[in-house]
Amino acid sequence: MRLLVVEDNRDLNRQLAGALTDAGYVVDRAFDGEEGHYLGDSEPYDAVVLDIALPKMDGLSVLGAWRRNGRAMPVLILTVRDRWSDKVKGIDAGADDYVVKPFHLEEVLARVRALLRRSTGHAASEFTCGPVRLDTRTGRVAVDGNPIKLSAHEYRLLSYLMHHVGRIVSRTELIEHLYDQDFDRDSNVIEVCVGRIRKKLGVDLIQTVRGLGYLLTPPHEG
């Protein structure tokens, strides 16, 4: 999953990006509203963490512009304002959730996980497909209850497919949502990563749909 953090406080921006990266996400960063607006309007993010009080363009204006342009990614707003009216303005502008500063990073992580689940139609933090279970809270994967060790890239790819189970996901979509802008799109890293995941899981869940991409389905549906 690829996220955007828009926060002008560089220390907080770094802390947020570090915590989200450690949790297995690919994170882009912006430090003012104009930069954040441009990135959110031009890149396919799965979710955005957006501060309200930003230089050059405030967060509510950024959010409103995204929504007017049809950008539907879930947005978690950060604000030091604790008046109910400011929260209402944020929700009315198109925010999906909010956190009031100061906050614990674990709360932000939990709310981001919830936004990602809801945006893909899931209610629980654990994803199950056949004998495979993936826990987004702990980053653990198990097959028939036995833990499987995956690399960070393998976990991100499997997690994305688990979030979109039953839908064909193209190679281009995987690249856009799992890697940063400098990724070599002509490399075969996706194919290699899928092969390694299949071998480690030991079950036939990931189908290659020729010319279209990859499809994750339980064995009895394959």
Neighbouring C-alpha atoms within 13 Å toward the C-beta of 192:
6
Strands 47-51 and 97-100: unpaired
Side chain identity at 77, as an amino acid letter? I
Contact between 204 and 158 (Cβ < 8 Å): no
Task: Tell me which range, 121-125, 175-179, 201-205, is most confidently predicted by mean pLDDT.
Answer: 201-205
Which pLDDT tens digit goes with each residue over 104-126? 999 999 999 999 988 877 767 88
Nearby residues of 138 by Cβ (< 8 Å), 6 or more positions away: none
Q: What is the DSSP letter of 169?
A: B
What span, in angstroms and rounded, lies between the C-alpha atoms of 213 and 12?
Answer: 37
Which pLDDT tens digit goes with each residue over 165-174? 889 999 989 9
pLDDT at 212: 92
Q: Is 46 helix (H, G, I), strand (E, B) or coil?
A: coil
Q: Which residue, 95, 41, 49, is CA-closest to 71?
A: 41
Domains of the chain: 2-119 (3.40.50.2300), 126-221 (1.10.10.10)
Please, is 214 exposed, middle or buried when counting C-beta atoms within 10 Å of its C-beta (0-12, 13-18, 19+)? buried
Token pair in block for residue 149: 């060790």
For the chain, how big is the Rg over CA atoms in Å? 18
pLDDT of 221 over the 70 cut: no
Q: What is the pTM of this model?
A: 0.77
